[in-house]
Amino acid sequence: MPAPSLDTQMIKAILEHRLVRGESLARCAQALGVSKGVVSKYVTLARAQGLEDWSLIDSMSDAELHSRLLAGQDERCPCVLPDFALMHRELSRKGMTLMLLWQEYQAEYVGQRTLQYSQFCERYRQYVRTLKRSMRQIHVAGEKLFVDFAGPTLALRDGSRAHLFVAALGASHYTYAQATPGQKTADWINGMVGALHYMGGVPALIVPDNPRAVIARADRYEPRATDSIQDFARHYDCAVLPARPHSPQDKAVVESAVQVVERWILARLRHVLPNDLGSANRAIEPLLEQLNHRPFQKLPGSRASVFASLDAPALRPLPSVRYEYARYKTVRVHVDYHVEIDRHRYSVPHVLVGQRLDARITQHGIELLHEGKRVAAHLRSHQAGGFTTIEEHMPASHRAHRQWTPERLVAWGRGVGESTALLIERMLARYRHPEHGYRSALGLLSLARRHGHARLEAACERALSLQIHTYRAVRDILLNGKEKALPAQPGRTWQSPDHEHLRGARAYH
């Protein structure tokens, strides 16, 4: 790139030293702090224009002197410069390079004076340095969605505070904001689901920070997201890749978006007191539209216009069903081929008795997975102690588990005593399917190993007299040593003995 011209005052100083003082080129250069070549250049230009009389030069204005000295150079056709703002935006497209942009620039201005490739790159770098820091990174269109929570919160009328989830696309900086009750896993997922459906598509990567609610293991090289986050990513066919720990430059886009949201949304809501989260999000919606349509300061267009032309076409389509938050839990299949989740029991195929399964729990349903394959699905029930059983999961006449039959359990109980056998019969009779009482009966029989047959038989007799037919009742009787207590005899009434503290009739005159 050619060196910039000196200002006119420095040119006059060079000519004064040369013409008035008669100093050599080297002496002039040393005195003025410029190179000898620069002094020679302007002395030669002055001589070529017939400007060898200092009085004439001194009487000229700066514009006149500049015009006379550089008249020959100004005749050259200046370089046609490209639109660097457009170039910067084009670099966000996948596969775009500066070399390709330079070639297109050369082809567009054939026959005109253009920049060479090195000059083109240098001018572009100078342009990028004039932009905001958050705009310096080059992001491929539709590739990354950056997510985070704002630091300040929003006060609600009930005294609680709403947290603000913020998401921004890397290329267009198209921004989304949503009020949430907290920053738990469900809040992160609900925020990301809202962002994807607001933008109408799915990026290749979602880049959060490293919160424990999202990342189970924060590692610079092999981070691992929680099971719920991985389930969300599978549903939308994308990846969740957290930023490197202690590397805020990896998520500069969302850091900038959070700052903008705090200034353009939270600041405008500082005098508003929403009733609840729904009211808060309704207040955020119009402000969010204004933010995305506000023109950039140093780039053409707005977030919305750049999103429509750049990010939106590159996003993958959304799935047909909106994601519902799910949590995971490991459960074991009991002998009655049911698993227990939140105090309710759900059936699975009986061949899985004794196996460990993964339970996927949503607000409305339960899915049970064995080695990643779904083996059962149920509507979720909140009935504590209840059963949800699918007939197909039950064994035909219990051929697969013939040893677990009511008759065999009663026979085992009779080995302890008649009261124990009778209590097991009544325990099994409480259920529509006797298999549901197997665990209670087996738990009852296990008490014999701890307390002995005699105590268990006495405890069962005591429970029968009280008409209580549960495992817990017998266990509590044994733990409290109440199996020896005699039951009350029918037909007998208790009468207080005479003693000196009794009041007579005279006490009531």
pLDDT of residue 43 exceeding 80, the answer is yes
Mean pLDDT value across residues 278-288: 91
E strands present in 85-182: 144-149, 154-155, 161-169, 175-180
Would you call 357 helix, strand, or coil by DSSP?
A: strand
pLDDT of residue 2 exceeding 50, the answer is no
Identify which has the larger pLDDT, 397 or 342. Answer: 342
Convert the pLDDT of each residue in 286-298 to its tens digit. Answer: 999 999 998 887 7
Contacts of residues 277-286 at CB distance under 8 Å and 24 or more positions apart, as own/partner, are: 277/156, 277/162, 277/179, 277/180, 277/181, 280/154, 280/156, 280/162, 280/179, 281/178, 281/179, 284/177, 284/178, 284/179
- Under a CB-based contact definition with an 8 Å cutoff, are residues 169 and 145 in contact? yes
pLDDT of residue 164 exceeding 90, the answer is yes
| Residue 487 DSSP symbol | P
Q: What is the distance between the alpha carbons of residues 121 and 492, in angstroms, rounded to a whole number?
A: 108
Phi, psi at residue 380, to the nearest 5°? -75, 135
Which residue ranges form the domains of the chain, and what is each CATH number? 8-74 (no CATH), 84-130 (no CATH), 144-314 (3.30.420.10), 327-396 (no CATH), 406-484 (no CATH)
pLDDT of residue 86 exceeding 70, the answer is yes
pTM higher than 0.85 for the full model? Answer: no
H helices, E strands: number in the chain: 19, 15
Query: Which of the four pLDDT bands, split at 50, 70 and 90, describes residue 501?
Result: low
Convert the pLDDT of each residue in 110-145 to its tens digit. Answer: 878 888 888 888 888 888 877 654 444 567 788 889
Per cent of the chain over pLDDT 90 is: 18
pLDDT of residue 299 exceeding 80, the answer is no
